[in-house]
A and B are shown apart, each in its own frame.
Chain A
Amino acid sequence: MNKIEIKFNATLENEAVIRNTIGLFAATINCTIEDIIDIKTIVSEAVSNAIIHGYEQDKEKEVLVTGILNDNELIIIVKDDGVGIDNIAEAIRVNYSSKNRSGLGFTIIKSLSDDLQIKSKKDMGTKLIIKKILTIKGQ
């Protein structure tokens, strides 16, 4: 088991840093480039949601991202203590957005990962637990 935890301010300036860091973390087990790009995309979606929706881009607030590697299984946890999601079924619907965006984030996370759990309540923050099985290069 190997674990990494990053706490950062809720600003989009940090989005690329975090997705690249988790991508590098996954690369420690020599997974494929395709897996790494999938992971970067998943992290980008989850982190931007925490920043944009969870915290309304309030830079004072903090997002916590955890990566856990167990053999070739990667768990990514993205947690904010922001506004939370009132109706999860509605939020994960393709093209649903409360902010006039394209509403594709959850759709992308779901299709690039092997499991997505959403723990959220209005005003109680949001925690995503995402699982991805990685393919080891040359196996």
Chain B
Amino acid sequence: MDSRISIKDNKNVVIFKVEGDFDNLLCIKYKSSITEILARKKAELTIFDLSQVNFIDSSGIGLLLGRYKQVNEYKGKLIICGVNKQIKKTLAISGIALIIDTYEDIYENIKESITSYE
């Protein structure tokens, strides 16, 4: 029941690790600080790590889409990783999977292929 979003902030990469239920309450709690961090850092790569998410609904999807648009405005890149089967299904229904690059693997495992950002 202890849902949260923690932030790992490297030089050119910002990682948001979401844990628990990615729902309305969680989005209301973190949306403005995530938006503010992205606006300030303008990192080349923004990663949403969903490997510890057990539930997502349209509000979580809305937050991801909104941040994707924000990052796009300053020509950054946003990816989603650690996506399990059930979350993948919701992302697919929403059409978000067509817009944002999503990976089943956790970031540590796909790091190699995107190390140019580090």
A102 touches B86 (CB 8 A): no
B62 touches A41 (CB 8 A): no
Q: Which of A12, A40, A101, A112 contacts B62 (CB 8 A)?
A: A101
Output the least CB separation between A109 and chain B (Å). 9
Q: At the interface, yes or no: B21 with Cβ under 8 Å from chain A?
A: yes
A107 touches B23 (CB 8 A): no
Q: Point out the residues of chain A lying under 8 angstroms from B23, CB to CB.
A: 15-16, 44, 48
A104 touches B55 (CB 8 A): no
Q: Point out the residues of chain B lying under 8 angstroms from A16, CB to CB.
A: 1, 21, 23, 25
Q: Which of B24, B28, B55, B57 contacts A108 (CB 8 A)?
A: B57
Number of B interface residues, CB 8 Å? 20
A102 touches B65 (CB 8 A): yes
Expressed in whole angstroms, the Cα–Cα distance for A77 and B106 within the complex equals 38
Q: At the interface, yes or no: B114 with Cβ under 8 Å from chain A?
A: no
B86 touches A34 (CB 8 A): yes
Q: Which of A34, A37, A40, A104 contacts B58 (CB 8 A)?
A: A104
A12 touches B86 (CB 8 A): no
By DSSP majority rule, is chain B's interface helix, strand, loop, or mixed? helix
Q: Point out the residues of chain B lying under 8 angstroms from A105, CB to CB.
A: 57-58
A37 touches B95 (CB 8 A): no
Digitize A89-128: 1 where CB-to-B-CB distance is under 8 Å, 0 elsewhere. 0000010000001101101100110000000000000000
B62 touches A44 (CB 8 A): no
Q: At the interface, yes or no: B93 with Cβ under 8 Å from chain A?
A: yes
Expressed in whole angstroms, the Cα–Cα distance for A105 and B23 within the complex equals 12
Digitize A49-61: 1 where CB-to-B-CB distance is under 8 Å, 0 elsewhere. 0001000000000
Q: Point out the residues of chain A lying under 8 angstroms from B66, CB to CB.
A: 102
Q: Which of A13, A40, A107, A112 contacts B25 (CB 8 A)?
A: A13
Q: Point out the residues of chain A lying under 8 angstroms from B93, CB to CB.
A: 104, 107-108, 111-112
6 pairs from A and B in contact (CB 8 Å cutoff)? A12-B24, A12-B28, A15-B23, A44-B55, A101-B59, A112-B93
Residue positions of A touching B, CB distance < 8 A: 12-13, 15-16, 19, 34, 37, 40-41, 44-45, 48, 52, 94, 101-102, 104-105, 107-108, 111-112
